[in-house]
Structure 1
Amino acid sequence: MNPEHLNYFGFCGRVIALALMHKVQVGIAFDRVFFSTLAGRDVCLDDVLDADPFLYMSCKKILEMDADFLDSDGLGLCFVTEIEEFGSKLLVELCPGGKDIALNSQNREEYVKLLINHRFMTSISEQITHFAQGFADILSRPTLQPFFFQSLDLEDLDKMLRGNGDGISVDDWKAHTDYNGYKETDCQISWFWKLVKKMSEEQKRALLVFWTSLKYLPVEGFRGLQSRLYIYKVTDCADRRLPTSHTCFFRLCLPTYQSLSVMDKSLQIITQEHVTSSFGIW
């Protein structure tokens, strides 16, 4: 319905290519069918299980159904599929003359193949083409793009894009953090890591975003980042200030709070979702 929607797919292709180029984790995973299409591979029934479980089960039942029942036109199907377009339902032939070809035990494999091909390739070919073009604008030539995806396993690509799906390790976080103005033995640093360990996973990720602008870590964890993290000491009006950050430099500016409770309240504020998106990030 949006006249610009194809351009959005091109834009998405560029964003994904930039994320791969700069090793930035974006927290998404490619669908196997989409990945196979970009690699120029045929899509088979097993590929569509996650993308469309209902279609998968329907096709599987057709392939396993009693031959006599199919040959008696028990399902009443022919080589057409129904699609919805702007609120109207349309019948589309899966092959030339499809409306006159009845489904039977001899052609059911071809029917399933054509149905999957239409659902995951033909009907969305424009969107896939625009995504592929956007990707190629950044990372590869259009003619070489299938070879790029053929050279990767889907699991490897997902790890590159999604990053570490495990919980954030505070010990790993601490091991890759340096201090400016503070010493590791200072009470403020001890309090800080004590409070971080008590945080929920959502709060830890909110703090990570506030500190670095990164929501997802590389598969290697904090050692996979391009830089170590830093905690800088802030002494001016410490008990009346919230922490701030310089995300480009992975720098957290932590005031010298005089009590654990004051620091706790301050960290609670900056890890609230509606605050972390706008406060102290520049």
Structure 2
Amino acid sequence: MSFEGKTIAFIGAGVMGSAIIGGLLKKKLVVPEQIIASDPNEQARQAIASQYGIQVTDDNMEAAKQAQIMVLCVKPQFMGKVLPPFYGEVAHLEMVVSIAAGVTLKTIEEGLANMNVVRAMPNTPAQIGEGISVWTCAPEVGEDQRAQAQQILEAMGQAIYVDDEKYLDMATALSGSGPAYLFLFIEAWIDAGVKMGFSRAIAEALVKQTVSGSTAYLNHTGAHPTVLRNQVTSPGGTTAAGLYELERGGLRTAVADAVWAAYKRSQELGEG
């Protein structure tokens, strides 16, 4: 689906807004003249204008009125302030994409008085084109707009459509917050290497490449993680000893509890 003749307005020019803009331009789906971004932070506006050569403004309405597609890249806590000025003023928009965690389709539809709403949950690896997004949309969104939504999200990496909005809060907890879980585990892993006697630089190199290589190997083989874990675990060996301590320490329960807590918080943000 072509974006020819379309202007895309980004409300919010932060990390994720910049990631989407960069992906769209890198894949040549649009040219800089087709993008306008609004943000209250002058430094953020100047940075994104300098980096991508796009139009910027501090006026959300000015951006929206120039566009056919609007992408809401604001934190869920600010949505209550961002939506009201748009009410009844954006009927011309062919599609609105929101990446705000927990904020429901209904909230956005009623806040804008526009039913052509897509809700998505990307994650931060989108900044290098390695993200994954889960998305859904209101029934009123047409096939052409759905194709455009898929393209916008695939500009950041992979994109998976789901037919029930309930999966968005689940994705927020699993893949949206997921990088932070992994970074914490990596941090603890590096610290363990330092405790044993490695320099921090060597411990970091060993752990980062182990994570990167293991993930690549998992994707390459297509095998279940249990199968690959068993390949590394010899009876009575070093890996078995280490895994025993992780299990004894409640790693699985801690991970499950973390994801569940994030899921419930996503629901709370939507209700708020």
TM-score of the superposed pair, with normalisation by structure 2: 0.26
Mark the structure with the bigger radius of gyration. Answer: 1
Larger relative helix fraction:
2
